[in-house]
Structures are given as C-alpha cells and as structure tokens.
Structure 1
Amino acid sequence: MSGGVEELNKALEDIVKFEYDVFLIFATDDDALARKVCEGLEQNNKRCIAQFKQDAFQIGHNVFDNVVRNVSRSNTTLLLLTEKSLQSHWVKLETILALEESTRSNMLRLRLLLHNVNERDINFLKRGVLASVPVMKVDFNRNEWSKELAEEIGREIPLPDVLPVGSMAHGLVFSHYTGFLSFVLPVLKEKLKQTEIYKRCPDKVSMKYNMLLPGSCNIYADLSSRDEDNGIEIKFEETLEFTAHHAGKLRNFSLTIYKITREGQEYYFFADFPNVLNSMFKMEAEQLAEVDIRFQIARFYYTMNEMINHAENKVCHNTVQLVLFNEIVETMQDALWHVVSTGVQDQANQTLNETVASNLQQPIQRLNDQQSDSDKEGNDVTITCYEDCSKDKNVAEEIGHFLEQKGKKVQMYSQKALSVPKAKWYIFVLSKEALRESDTLQFLCTEALAESLGNNELRVLVVIRDVDPRHIPRFIKSVNMLKTSEPNYCDKILKSMTGDVLRLEHSLPAGDVATGLSWAYVINYLVMTLLGKSSEETGKLNLKQRIQKFLKDKNIKCGCIYKMFIVLPMSCTTAPKLADKANESGDGTKIVTHLGLTEPVVSDTGGQKGRKSFLHMYKHEDTESKRNVCFIAEYCTPANCMREMVENYKFAGLSEEEMRKQCDDFAELLPDIIGREMVKRKLGDISKLVQLIYYDDKSETLLSAIGRHIDEAGSEMIFAEEMPPRTGEQNYHLP
C-alpha cells in the first residue's frame, strides 16, 4: 500500500515539475515529419510541445526566451536530426540549452532521433556531455514505432549513470594540453633540430610529436622494446630537457628520442603516452571507479583531434600525430613504424604543400576580408551600453578607446535605437542597472546574436559589470562573457576579436570535468610525487628524507611541516610566482620566501625517461612573534587547467559560471578521493601528506590563507637532523 502511495506521490511531483514530457526540436522544413512524431508520442500519453503548438512561442517574447522556456518546462528535449536540421544553427542553440538543463538537474534530459542520417554525420555534435546522449532511430513502417519511442524517452537516465566519472576524457585532453603540449609543441621542432641526431641525418628524424593512444589506456614506462613477429625494434637514444614556469612553479620537461628499425631501415622520433591515460587505466584496473575505457579513449581521441586541428590553436597544426591502436590486433611497435616511416617520407612533400597552401591562402583571405568589410559597412565593432548609467558608459568608452588604439574601427551605439548597425563584432555592456531598466539593450543583444547564429558564428561579446553571471539571461550565456573586474579584460576582448570565430557547436557544455581532473591529479601526480623516491645517485630518498636533505643543505634550523599545501583559489587564477602573490598584500610583518627545490622524484612514465618532479620549499616568517616555519606548497594545476579552458580555449565548452561550480566540486572531491580506503590500499596513503588550501581570493589574501593553514596544520614537523619527540609546550619551529 505504501509503495503505491509513494509511486503516486512521485508521479504527482513529476506532473507538477514539468508541464510537458517532451519538447520537440526540429528544422522548419521538417514540419510534417515532426508532426508525425508528436502525434505518435501523444498517442502514448506523452505531453508534447513544439513550435507548431499554440502555447509554444509567446507573443511579445524573443525567440531565445521562448526556447529557454520550453526547454525548462519539459522533462525531455527530443532533437529530430535530419539532413535539413543538421544545417540549422537554431537547432544547435536549442541543443545547447537542453544540455545545460541536463547538467543543472543531473539528469540526461536530451535524446537524439535520427531520420535518414547516420551517426557519422553528427560527429561534430558528439562532444562534451552530448557524447553520452542516447541516439535513436525509428522505422515509421513498423506499427510499434511510437510505443518504443515513448518508452525510450520515458526512461530516466541520471548523468552519473552514463558518466560515472563525468566528462573525464574531455577534461584530460585540456589537462594534457595546458600542462604539457602548450609548452612542448611551440619549441619541439627547434629542440629536435639542436640534436646531434638531426645534424647527422635530418632526413631520418620525425619532426612531430607522436601521441600514443592505446585502446586499453595501459601505458608503458619505456618504449624500448622489440616486436619479434614484425621484426621491429625500438631503442632509447637521448633525452632533451628544458624548463618553464607552469602554474606558479618551475617545471622540468623531458623529450625522449627513440630509434626505430626494421629490415635495415631506421628512423628517429619523439613519442610518448599521455600520462593522463594512466589515471583511467588504474581506475578501471584497480576498481577504484567505474570507467568505460573504450568510450573514454574514443572521446579522448576525438577531442584531442579537434583540439590540435582547431583554427584557434594554430601552434598545434602539423605538429602532432595521433597514434590510436588496438593492442589486440596491432602492436605498439607496428603502429609506430607505420606513422613514423610514412611521416618522415612525407615531410618534404608536406613542407612543399604547406608553402603552396600558404601562398594560396593569403590572397583568398584578403579577398574575404575585403568582402567582409563591404558587408559589415566598414565597422570592426559596435559597442552598445545602457547610456543612462554613467558607469556602463565609462566602461564602453574605455573599451572603445582601447580598441581604437589597437587599430580597430569602433562605433559607439545607443541602446535607445531599434537596431544595431552591422559589424564584424558586437560588444554589449551589461550591469544590474542595464538588466533592470533597459529591455531594449537585451533586445539588441538578441538581434546581434540572431545574426551571428544565422552564419553559425558567435561574434557577440558581453562585458558584465557588477552583476553575478547567474543573473544573466540564459540565451546570452551561449556567447563569450568577460567581467570588467578581470585583470586586463580589454586585452582579452581584443584576443577574442583577433582569433578565429567561435562556431556555435563549440558552445556545447563540457560537462563534469572536475571528477576526471581530481582522479588524474591524485593518480598521476600526487601519489607519484609524495610517495616516489629520488634518483639512485641521490640515494633514492623518500619525501621525509628529501625534506631533511634540503633543510640540511640550506642550513635551515626551523622545521618544515610534513605535508604539501595545495593552493586552490576559488577563481582558479594562479600567479606566476606563489611567494610574490602572497607578499603583495602583506604589511611586512609576515613574509613568505621561496627557498628552492627539493631533490626531484625521478621516474620513467609513458615513454618519458627520467621525468623529474620537484617540490617547492617556502618559509613563513612572522617578524612580530618571531615564529618561522617552512612548508611545501604549490598551486593546484587542475585549477589552472579550468581557468585556461575558460579564458584561452573557448571551444572547451566551460563557462565562467560553470568553472566556479566545478572548482567547488573539485575541492570536495580531492580530499574524498585521497581519503578512500580503497585508494589508500591500492595506490598508497597520502591522506596525511596533503592539505588543500581552498580560499576565496576575492575576500581573503593568499598570505592570510597560508598563515591560517599553518596554524591549523597540526602535523608532524621535519628538521634537518632527527629531533626528539615534542613534549608539553615544546615548539620546534621556533628559531
């Protein structure tokens, strides 16, 4: 009896929650087909809303508001994909809004219905959260088609069920790029040319980064090996090293060069496995979390391929060769031989082709620019604001003056007009006052977005002043948004305008990247760095011994907290140097000093030999209390990755608002993962060696956050020489 009541209550809750079961999205040319689908669903007791329904679009409301309204009041959004709808950019916008509704409700509220198109025709949509959306096909000649479709649509699919580790592969692609590729690719060819191997035989050296992507995600520490069946041998040749600053610390990069031989032929190449794949493999192999390896490696390949070939990412063009292989049917050696031998032989032709293509592209680009100038009436940008608000007007004038100094043709425009003059770019300044007082400004923003949408381009930039992004109308969130409070926001506007235009499909939400980044950070970095050992030459020192050696070598008398501080600002913004950031807000009574680097952990991983991971030692001095203490700290690199996704890689699909939420999620997930008994048992216990400093960098300084956590640390202290245990009020970190 009680079960029946509970089911009835749940059914009533669902009815109250949603006015409709299905919101049907389709292209106008597919009206007849859409009506047939709608009728079939209604015959199976599904309440449907579609643009041909009387209540679908309210008079007096813009199309964006109506779309948002229909998505929000429907339990499921059904996207009817045909040859015609694939060309509709409005359909893409509605898809984006439906996915945002899914991420908010944590339920997959979107379904794809294909008619006379194949899944390969929608690859451009299979990114971010959308990669997990079920794809359905209907045979309208079958009597049961409507019943089967209604049943499939009625099936509740929690996002964690289809994505138990979130959009892991999507996040790991950007993690690998921001933490490795962005440093390596710009210098790769020059570094290779400096080797003795290249000087000796330049026609035998592959100039690309060969990225190995095994179907199992199982990576090897060293590529040196022999494939007896195919007669292929790979040998280590040399390692190139260089350093660069990343997320506030100096990082060592290793490029391992190998030689591959077969039947007397030999070539030289740089290749490795992305270390981030190791996290997916271990999670599945050690049963730490449910991971669909085949699904995630396919997503990793697809997203990485898009990343390195994206128009906004020219530094990657023609520098990376993805080597996806199935170990069951193909050996790593055979896969590498094919891409390296073919690649080296084609390099001369590729260079010639690139030169010809470049010469052809330049006049075509100039012709397009001239045509664009004519079409857009000569304006690079129009800037519109709520003129009755002096602060908004000042922001608009500041942006306009900055862009004019950079050679852009700018037109300031009144929000009181009925339309915005055509231009290459449209900038709107929004504030609390503008949203409250000026419906016209939102209308003009809608008009500009509609024009961009018609060309499948997002040429609208929204600059917000003193307003929470959550209060921005949802249709506006699909465009690039910048805050006046962001440092150098005018530079970021210029960067957006001078880069390649963002296509609408790149606004598809990335989904949950925090889960994957958390796991990868623990497995690939924290466990290795904190539990690993230094090289044999330095005595294979563990963490405690590395700290002691550092203190002794530097003749430091005060102790060091026996854990690593991971600094995570809520804004995900990292400074070039942690100590400088800490001291910039101090009054001189408390000082943070960077003392240097501990002995590195040295390991072979993913084909990179001798990879070094350093820890940074700092000293916190309080001149008033005369208390000094050393501590190990660094910025949280996944936070830097998310910030980069928002600022520099708009096609990543991560908004500022979503980044803040995922930063909160990361702050909860990281200690949870580290504290799990299964993780401790399978990977090693680092729970007492990590302290997360998660702080609101808008209201608290880094110096204050560090001082607070030092006072709360309450952990073991390490000294240069072994000291007797503390008793009573003894405090060994006093000088």
Structure 2
Amino acid sequence: MAEARRPGDDSDEDTSPSGSDWKDCDVAIFYKTDEPFRIEKTILNYFNRAEIKYVRPGLSNLVGSSEYKNIAKAIQNSKKTLLILSSNCKSIDFSLETYLALERCLQTGRLSLMVLMIDGLTIRDLPDIPFLQQATQMILVDNYHERCMETICKALKREVQLNKLLPAGNFAVGMAWSHFSGYLKKILPELAQRIQKSDVFQNNLGRMSTVFFMLCPLSAKGRPNIEDADPDVKNMGKIEWTKDGRPYSPTVYKVKGKNEKGIEEEYLCCAEYPNALCALALIAEEALNLFTPQQRRIEVERFRYKLEEILNHSRNTDCLGRARVLMFDDEAKGRSNSPSSVLFQAVRGAIEETMLRPLSDKPESPLAQAKCRVDVCFLYSDTEGGGESRWGHSKNPDDKTIHKIRAFLEDKKVRCSIARPPADDTAVIEERVQEARWVCCLMSPYSIKQKKFIEFWLAALLNKCIEENQLKIVILLKDIDSSYIPNFIRWVTYIDITNEPSSEERIYDIIKGEVVHLKSQVPAGNVAFGLAWAFHVNYLRHVLPDFSDRLNQRMEEDDIRKRKAVKECRLSQHFLQIIPKSCDFKPLLNLVDDRISEPFYLKPVVRQISGTERKFSCKLYRIEGEKYDYYFAGEMLTPVNTLSEMNKSMIAGLSKNQMYEQCDALVEQLKAILDSKATPEEMHNKCRCITFDDAKRKLADVIMDEIDKEMETDNMTKYAEWLKKQ
C-alpha cells in the first residue's frame, strides 16, 4: 500500500534559516506580501522601538526548504502569532501548510493568536473561521495611530494564559472508533442469535428484526429510555448476557406506526442512542461551549459516516449488516422526525428485506430529493486556468484525477461542476459552490503548496453554505494523509483515493446516500481528542463523584480489614489510569505483573444511559511490599485498547508510530480536561494518569513509587496546615 505524505516528510533536517533567530520570539507576523514597505514603516518600526523580537516566516523561507517545517518551527518558537489584515487584503498569502501549522499550535495550547485589523477593516468584516473568531482582535485606528500602537505593543508583551481546550481535531472520529471497539464489536457477533432465542422474538415472529438500530439525532441528545421521548415507543424488556465478565443488556422496544395504506402496525427491535454520540450534547452544553449548534450537527454526521464505514467494512464480517445507524433531525418539526417514525420505517424495512420482499415505501434518495442545480462541485487548486478541454496535457497533476472521477459520476447521471482557485474568478467559484449540494475538495501535494488554494474568503464561504444551504463537504486525499485536513473545513467524511481501489464508487455512494461498503483501510485520522472526551463524559463522570466513599467503604470490609490488622497498609486516594508506553493493553492489572493481586471490586455505579442500563465497576488491587501492603483502585486507560485494536485491525489504517503519537495526545488531552472547569468540582483530584515504560520497569514498582510519593505529599500538606494553625 502506498504511504500517504505527512507534514514535513520531504526533509528530516532542520532547514530553518537562522534557527537561533526564531528561538523564543515574541511574535511571528504574517501579512500580505505585496505591501511590505507600508507595514514595515507604520507597524514594524514601532515593534523595533519597543524591542519586540519578531520573525516573518512568509518572507524567510529558503529556496527548496520545507515550508511546513519552517513555518511550524517559527510559530512554535514564538510566544504569539500576529495576523495583519486590511480592507483590501482580507486574506494573506497562506499555503494550506501555514493554516495547519497555526491550527496545530492552537490545538496543543502553545499559541496565542492575535489579529490586527487596519485600513478600516472591522470585526464584522472578519472571515467567519473558528480560529480567527477565537483570536484576540485589535483595530488600528488611523486617527489614534500612536496610542493604538502603544496598546498593541503592550498586548504583544503581555503574558497570557493559554486555553488548552481549544477544539483539537474532531470529536466524532475518535468517538466512533471508541463505540465500535468498546461495545459494538463485542455485542453484534452474537446479538442476532440471542434475539432469535428470546421469548419476545418467538412470540412475535415476522414482527421483530434481529438488526441493532442506533438512533443518531442531530441534537446528539438521547433520553435514558427511548419511550420517554415518544409515546409510540414502548420498552419491552432486555436481552441480557455476560461476556468476559461484563454484562450486556440491549433494550427491546415496540414501535407503533402506520403503513402506506394508513393501517396501524407494530414492530419490535433492539435500539438505543449511541452512548458515545450523546457525549457530544453534554460537551456542547457544559464543556466551555467548544462548538456551535451547526458544528455539533457536523460532528453527528461525521460520527454516522465513520461508524457506517467501520461497520460495513468487507473484512468486518462479524458485524456486517448487523447494525444500522439512523440519523434524523429531532430539532425539526413534523411527525417524520420523531424516534418512532424513524424506527418504524427502518425496522419494517429490515424485516421486509429479511423476508425477501421489495420495499413498498422506500424513500427517495438524497439526489432525487435535492433541489440544488448541481449535485457535486469539485474544488481543487489550479494556477494555470484554461477550459475543460485542457485536461490531458495540463501541467497540473490533479486535472486528470478530477476528470476521471467526474466522468464516472456523469455516466451515472450525477450533475457536476468544477471550481479551481485561484485560476477561476472569485464570483465563478462562489456561484458554483453555492449551487451545489456536495463539494468534493481535493487535497494533494500540489494543492497544499498553492498559496491561494483556500483563502479566508473561501473558507468563510464554505462555512456559510453549510449553515444556510445544507452543503456537505467530502475531502479527497491524494498522496497525503488526513493530517493535512484543516479543522475549519467542516467535512463529513474523507476518502483516501490513492489507497481506496473503488474510490469513484464510494464517492457516488456517499453523494447518493447509500451505505458505504469499504474494502481498503478506513483512514483513522486524529482520534485522540474524541477518545479523551468520550472517556471523560461516558465513564469518569459516572465513577468519580462518589469514588472516595466507595473506596473507603470497600477498605473496611472484612476481607481487607482483617489483613490491615496484621500488616500496615498504604492506600492511594486516586483512581489510577495506567498507560503502558507500548500500548499493550491488558483488561486486568494482575495480568501485567504477578505481584499485583487479583482484583477486589468496589460497589458498582448503576446508570440508565441512552436507553440501556450500564454498570460501572472499579477494580481494587493489592501489592505486597516489604514493609507495607499497597492498595489502589486502577485500570489500564480504556481508550488505549481502542488504539491498540485499531493498530491490529485490518480495518483501521493506524501504524505503530501513529498509535504512539495518538496515545501521547490522548493522555495530554485527558489531563487537560481533568484540570479544567469542564470537570465538575466533585471529580477534582480523584483521577491520575500514570505513563510508564513497560519495557524497562515493572508495573508494581511504578505503582508503589507513586503511592509513596502521594503519601509524602499528603504528609507535607498536613504539616503545612498544622503550622498555619499554630
């Protein structure tokens, strides 16, 4: 399989000019390069007088050097980044790689972004791009130039507290993989057989489906019980079994509706709101308002597409055809957007398919429903211009790629158009994007080097069309990987056309609205962010609030209390999340080190979540030390298992190096969430992440050292408090 290009792959050496000049700069400055003299005279001179150390990466690159590396290094080594925008130059000559460098530093909390607006540009005129809207915004007023520059210089020198929780990548991809590997992969292979053996199925032959249905409302909100949201849905009990010590209990629902003749019918099925998806609504409401309602809807669509890609992969035979994802707009008016209506149509259709009868009320495809003039607009960079007749002998390598895909789609009666910045006029591009239902945006080594491929105005236009016209964007990756997709493009899915043998068919299926069946690997992308949030919202929020009480109660039960009477013990008051450097996940810690006892169990937390009863059990372990018995509640960080499964899987395209990178990012993000106000007060200081090199150290030694340090810290804190009282 061909390896996709990653940022900076074209050189392993540091090609940055005067690396010492870029070290610890106060600010990296970007502005339109066709007016440098004016900027230097009216702005940079003030910076020189104020002894502000700055670098201009756009003017400093060496010929033949890696632009991405140089720009990324300048941004990372600078305390702030300043974008200077004017009314005539609302954009800057950025290549896509510059956007990526800015976004990455923002994501990791290493950058404070500032925007300086000059020549009458106002905040209202600022392009609607998330990282611009979140930046510190300043206006240079000509009549008060001197005073404004003093204020700007002070702002550039001022220390700032960076927000570590700026959106990093997307939630949905990580959450989809988490839901699959932690839940669906375990229940789907045997759920259909267990349904068929159940009394409720035998008593309702021909009226109950063995398919598992997942409701995905665009609000991402799910009730604990589906019948609470709709009177035409009734809870009929559960299908219960235990696997590998974990109980599973999908809920059976009866759904009532009317067929095409208006006759009332009832059907049964197992259904629920995906637990991972419902975390999105909680994050949107509670966790610092990380995204808007429209961004939340985009994440729901991404979740649906990614989950369908995984479930319907040709190599995933144990899950193929056993589950369906039902996306609907629960915030819209009308009976057709209710859970009962969506379930009724889907369950009835699944039963008819099983009985080999044609669907009598199969809905029209999105292509037939669409009222747009064009089904899909292909957006890619071209500096040559010229008409469509120039395909075949164009110097642009992407022309042939787009021509091939377009020809395939037009043979299937799909209406296509093309927009090629900067060769095509701005008005032409705007018209073609606005009249399309889908935009397929091609990203390749050629396009990302073009400085006018996606300017601010085009990014803002895409976002506006998504908001107003329900436009959807598919990213086509050619000889590069998903790390090149900027976050401000609200894509619903992406396709690696280099490694996907039937990419044209897949594009057609997506545009047509069909379920996508993959044969090659599903691109993993940035999953760490979604994994961290899903783990926090769907697990830690349930087990941490009363963790201390349950831990201390368990320590007083007879089996432990009697041993404590014989030998002194030390107890960690934290719920320890263990992360091995190798990502070699084990379900029980005694399987990692035989000096760790078999687990005791704390009292489980029982919750009704997304239509299913969930039990959360925390494990308690003992290590026999020379002087003390060490007790701790802990486990291997569950999302590490997701990364490990993705690496081992033939479905996910996650290399070992990518797995290690994602694991580091996962731990960093989880720590940031735990330390933020997104974590309720009753959860503070109750969970700790411990990373260790399992090739060099034994886990028992690591745990005992951590507990000893914890005890020493507690003793010092108690002593300091005692001194204050004296």
TM-score norm. by structure 2 comes to 0.53
> Which residue number in structure 1 is paired with residue 304 of structure 2?
301
Q: Residues of 1 paired with 2:270 and 2:344: CA distance?
A: 12
> Which residue number in structure 1 is paired with residue 637 of structure 2?
636
Q: Secondary structure at the residue paired with 2:633?
A: strand
From the superposition, tell whether residues 287 and 615 of structure 1 become closer, same or farther in structure 2 (CA, over 3 Å).
closer
Q: Residues of 1 paired with 2:211 and 2:546: CA distance?
A: 31
Q: CA offset at residue 305 of structure 1?
A: 1.5
Q: Residues of 2 paired with 1:544 and 1:167: CA distance?
A: 35
> Which residue number in structure 1 is paired with residue 284 of structure 2?
284
> Which residue number in structure 1 is paired with residue 710 of structure 2?
713
> Which residue number in structure 1 is paired with residue 273 of structure 2?
273
Q: CA offset at residue 204 of structure 1?
A: 1.7
Q: CA offset at residue 313 of structure 1?
A: 1.6
> Which residue number in structure 1 is paired with residue 43 of structure 2?
3
Task: Output the amino acid matched with 1:510.
Answer: G
Q: Residues of 2 paired with 1:340 and 1:204: CA distance?
A: 9
> Which residue number in structure 2 is paired with residue 704 of structure 1?
701
The partner residue of 2:608 within 604, 607, 612 is 604
Task: Output the amino acid matched with 2:619.
Answer: H
The partner residue of 2:540 within 526, 544, 548 is 526
> Which residue number in structure 2 is paired with residue 502 of structure 1?
520
From the superposition, tell whether residues 214 and 479 of structure 1 become closer, same or farther in structure 2 (CA, over 3 Å).
closer
From the superposition, tell whether residues 226 and 569 of structure 1 become closer, same or farther in structure 2 (CA, over 3 Å).
closer
The partner residue of 1:573 within 584, 587, 603 is 584
Q: How does 1:288-687 map to 2 (within 5 A)?
A: 288-291=288-291, 292-329=295-332, 330-349=337-356, 502=520, 506-507=522-523, 510-511=525-526, 513-531=527-545, 543-544=550-551, 546-548=553-555, 556-557=563-564, 558=569, 560-583=571-594, 591-609=595-613, 611-622=614-625, 624-625=626-627, 627-651=628-652, 653-681=653-681, 685-687=682-684
Aligned pairs, how many?
439
From the superposition, tell whether residues 311 and 678 of structure 1 become closer, same or farther in structure 2 (CA, over 3 Å).
closer
Q: Which blocks of at least 5 consecutive residues in structure 2 are unaligned?
A: 1-40, 68-87, 106-124, 136-164, 259-263, 360-476, 480-497, 501-516, 721-726
From the superposition, tell whether residues 334 and 700 of structure 1 become closer, same or farther in structure 2 (CA, over 3 Å).
same
Q: Residues of 2 paired with 1:296 and 1:285: CA distance?
A: 15
From the superposition, tell whether residues 576 and 22 of structure 1 become closer, same or farther in structure 2 (CA, over 3 Å).
closer
> Which residue number in structure 1 is paired with residue 189 of structure 2?
186
Task: Output the amino acid matched with 2:661.
Answer: K
Q: Residues of 1 paired with 2:175 and 2:181: CA distance?
A: 10
From the superposition, tell whether residues 596 and 6 of structure 1 become closer, same or farther in structure 2 (CA, over 3 Å).
farther
Is the helix fraction higher in 1 or 2?
1
Q: Residues of 1 paired with 2:218 and 2:277: CA distance?
A: 10
Q: CA offset at residue 551 of structure 1?
A: 5.5
Q: Percent identity?
A: 23
Q: Residues of 1 paired with 2:266 and 2:712: CA distance?
A: 55
User: 2:174–2:531: 8 Å Cα contact kept in structure 1?
Assistant: yes
Q: Residues of 1 paired with 2:234 and 2:215: CA distance?
A: 16
> Which residue number in structure 2 is paired with residue 14 of structure 1?
58
Q: How does 1:127-138 map to 2 (within 5 A)?
A: none
From the superposition, tell whether residues 257 and 556 of structure 1 become closer, same or farther in structure 2 (CA, over 3 Å).
farther
From the superposition, tell whether residues 546 and 457 of structure 1 become closer, same or farther in structure 2 (CA, over 3 Å).
farther
Q: Residues of 2 paired with 1:344 and 1:105: CA distance?
A: 51
From the superposition, tell whether residues 316 and 532 of structure 1 become closer, same or farther in structure 2 (CA, over 3 Å).
farther
From the superposition, tell whether residues 307 and 328 of structure 1 become closer, same or farther in structure 2 (CA, over 3 Å).
same
From the superposition, tell whether residues 697 and 310 of structure 1 become closer, same or farther in structure 2 (CA, over 3 Å).
same
User: 1:550–1:598: 8 Å Cα contact kept in structure 2?
Assistant: no
Q: Residues of 1 paired with 2:584 and 2:301: CA distance?
A: 31
User: 1:547–1:560: 8 Å Cα contact kept in structure 2?
Assistant: no
Q: Residues of 2 paired with 1:715 and 1:598: CA distance?
A: 26
Q: Residues of 2 paired with 1:158 and 1:659: CA distance?
A: 31
From the superposition, tell whether residues 531 and 11 of structure 1 become closer, same or farther in structure 2 (CA, over 3 Å).
closer
Task: Output the amino acid matched with 1:566.
Answer: Q
Q: CA offset at residue 650 of structure 1?
A: 4.5
Task: Output the amino acid matched with 2:617.
Answer: F
From the superposition, tell whether residues 530 and 251 of structure 1 become closer, same or farther in structure 2 (CA, over 3 Å).
farther
User: 2:623–2:700: 8 Å Cα contact kept in structure 1?
Assistant: no
User: 1:532–1:601: 8 Å Cα contact kept in structure 2?
Assistant: no
Q: Is 1:221 equivalent to 2:220 in the alignment?
A: no
Q: Residues of 2 paired with 1:284 and 1:180: CA distance?
A: 23
Task: Output the amino acid matched with 1:568.
Answer: I
| Cα distance per residue 1:293-317 (max 9 Å; x no partner) | 0111111111111111112222221
| Cα distance per residue 1:152-200 (max 9 Å; x no partner) | 99x9979999982422101110000010011011111111122111122
Q: Residues of 2 paired with 1:170 and 1:607: CA distance?
A: 22
> Which residue number in structure 1 is paired with residue 234 of structure 2?
235
TM-score norm. by structure 1 comes to 0.52
Q: CA offset at residue 549 of structure 1?
A: 6.3
Q: CA offset at residue 639 of structure 1?
A: 1.1
From the superposition, tell whether residues 687 and 335 of structure 1 become closer, same or farther in structure 2 (CA, over 3 Å).
same
Q: Residues of 2 paired with 1:532 and 1:301: CA distance?
A: 34
Q: Secondary structure at the residue paired with 2:596?
A: strand
From the superposition, tell whether residues 654 and 545 of structure 1 become closer, same or farther in structure 2 (CA, over 3 Å).
same
Q: Is 1:260 equivalent to 2:255 in the alignment?
A: yes
User: 1:243–1:252: 8 Å Cα contact kept in structure 2?
Assistant: yes
Task: Output the amino acid matched with 1:571.
Answer: S
Q: Residues of 2 paired with 1:173 and 1:325: CA distance?
A: 17
User: 1:530–1:543: 8 Å Cα contact kept in structure 2?
Assistant: no
Q: Residues of 1 paired with 2:618 and 2:651: CA distance?
A: 32
User: 1:174–1:641: 8 Å Cα contact kept in structure 2?
Assistant: yes
Q: CA offset at residue 573 of structure 1?
A: 1.6
Q: CA offset at residue 657 of structure 1?
A: 1.8
Q: CA offset at residue 343 of structure 1?
A: 1.9
Q: Secondary structure at the residue paired with 2:237?
A: strand
Task: Output the amino acid matched with 1:310.
Answer: H
Q: CA offset at residue 222 of structure 1?
A: 0.8
Q: CA offset at residue 649 of structure 1?
A: 4.7
Q: Residues of 2 paired with 1:644 and 1:241: CA distance?
A: 25
> Which residue number in structure 1 is paired with residue 465 of structure 2?
none
Q: Residues of 2 paired with 1:254 and 1:715: CA distance?
A: 44
Q: Residues of 1 paired with 2:212 and 2:478: CA distance?
A: 32
Task: Output the amino acid matched with 1:338.
Answer: Q
Task: Output the amino acid matched with 1:278.
Answer: C
Superposed CA RMSD: 4.4
Q: Residues of 2 paired with 1:526 and 1:716: CA distance?
A: 24
Q: Residues of 2 paired with 1:328 and 1:564: CA distance?
A: 38
Q: How does 1:240-251 map to 2 (within 5 A)?
A: 240-245=239-244, 250-251=245-246
From the superposition, tell whether residues 570 and 299 of structure 1 become closer, same or farther in structure 2 (CA, over 3 Å).
same
Q: Which blocks of at least 5 consecutive residues in structure 1 are unaligned?
A: 24-43, 46-73, 78-97, 109-150, 353-455, 459-477, 481-498, 534-540, 584-590, 718-725, 729-735
Q: Residues of 1 paired with 2:228 and 2:213: CA distance?
A: 17
| Cα distance per residue 1:32-51 (max 9 Å; x no partner) | xxxxxxxxxxxx99xxxxxx
Q: Secondary structure at the residue paired with 1:290?
A: coil
